[in-house]
Amino acid sequence: MSEYKRPTSEAAFHQNFEQIKPLMNDTEAYYESSRCLFCYDAPCIKACPTGIDIPLFIRQINTGNLKGSAKTIYESNHFGNVCGKVCPTEVLCEGACVYNEQNVKPIEIGRLQSHSTTKAIQDNTKLFTSLPENGKKIAVIGAGPAGIAAACELRLFGYEVDIFEAKAQPSGLALHGTAPYKITNAEVLEEMQYLEAQFGFNTHYNKKINSAAEARELEEKYDAIFLGIGLGGTRSARIEGEDFENCEGATEFIETLKLAPLKAAVGKRVVVIGGGNTAMDAASESSRMGASEVTLLYRRAKEEMPAYEFELDLAKGVGVRAVFNVQPLAVLGDGKVEGIRSIRTESKDGKLSNIAGTEFDIACDMVIKATGQEKQRNFLDTLNVAYDNSGRIEVDEHFRCGKTKYFAAGDAVNGGAEVVNACAEAKKAAQGIHQFLS
Ligand SMILES: Cc1cc2nc3c(=O)[nH]c(=O)nc-3n(C[C@H](O)[C@H](O)[C@H](O)COP(=O)(O)OP(=O)(O)OC[C@H]3O[C@@H](n4cnc5c(N)ncnc54)[C@H](O)[C@@H]3O)c2cc1C
Ligand code: SF4
Topology, domain 20-122: Fumarate Reductase Iron-sulfur Protein; Chain B, domain 2 (1.10.1060)
pTM: 0.96
pLDDT at res. 2 = 65
User: Which of 188, 419, 425, 427 most suits a substitution to test ligand 1, by most atoms within 8 Å of the C-beta?
Assistant: 419
How do beta strands 366-369 and 269-273 pair?
A: parallel
What H or E segment, with its residue span, contains residue 249? strand 247-249
**Cα angle 142, 147, 149; round to 5:** 160
Using an 8 Å Cβ cutoff, are 234 and 371 in contact?
yes
CA of 341 to the centre of ligand 1 (A): 32
Yes or no: say if 227 and 408 are a contact pair by the CB < 8 Å rule: yes
Which residues sit opposite 332 in a β-bridge? 339
Q: Tell the residue nearest (CA) to atom 6 of ligand 2.
A: 44
H or E segment to which residue 243 belongs:
none
**Pocket of ligand 2, beta carbon within 6 A:** 36-39, 42-44, 54-55, 97-99, 107, 109
Print pLDDT tens along the chain (438 aa).
568 999 999 999 999 999 999 999 999 999 999 999 999 999 999 999 999 999 999 999 999 999 999 999 999 999 999 999 999 999 999 999 999 999 999 999 999 999 999 999 999 999 998 788 999 999 999 999 999 999 999 999 999 999 999 999 999 999 999 999 999 999 999 999 999 999 999 999 999 999 999 999 999 999 999 999 999 999 999 999 999 999 999 999 999 999 999 998 899 999 999 999 999 999 999 999 999 999 999 999 999 999 999 999 999 999 999 999 999 999 999 999 999 999 999 988 878 999 999 999 999 999 999 999 999 999 999 999 999 999 999 999 999 999 999 999 999 999 999 999 999 999 999 999 999 999
Centre of ligand 2 to C-alpha 98, Å, is 6
Q: Which CATH number fits domain 137-232+375-437: 3.20.20.20, 3.20.20.70, 3.50.50.60, 3.40.50.1820?
A: 3.50.50.60
d(CA 62, CA 36): 9
- Ligand 1 contact, 417 CB (< 6 A): yes
**Cβ–Cβ < 8 Å for 172, 147:** yes
Report yes or no: 345 and 293 within 8 Å, Cβ to Cβ.
no
Question: Same CATH topology for 137-232+375-437 and 247-369?
Answer: yes
Q: How far, in Å, CA of 161 to CA of 437, rounded?
A: 14
Listed in sequence order, the residues at least 6 apart from 337 whose beta carbon sits closer than 8 Å to its beta carbon are 241, 244, 245, 246, 247, 267, 331, 364, 365, 366, 367
What ranges do the domains of the chain cover? 20-122, 137-232+375-437, 247-369
Give the largest CA-CA distance in the chain.
71
Q: 326 with 342: CB under 8 angstroms?
A: yes
CA–CA gap between residue 69 and residue 75 (Å, rounded): 10
Do residues 258 and 182 make contact, with C-beta atoms less than 8 angstroms apart? no
- Determine the straight-line distance between the first and last CA of the chain, rounded to whole angstroms: 60
Report which bound ligand comes closest to the CA of 58.
2
Report DSSP state, residue 406: E
CATH 3.40.50.300 fits 247-369, yes or no: no
* Nearest in space to 285 (alpha carbons), one of 269, 266, 304: 266
Query: How large is the angle between the packed helices 145-156 and 185-199, nearest 10 degrees?
Result: 20
Residues 6+ apart with CB under 8 A from 100: 106
Find the ligand nearest to 250 CA.
1
User: At residue 369, what are phi and psi to the nearest 5 degrees?
Assistant: -95, 115
Alpha-carbon span 255 to 177, nearest angstrom = 6
pLDDT at 58: 98
CA of 363 to the centre of ligand 1 (A): 33
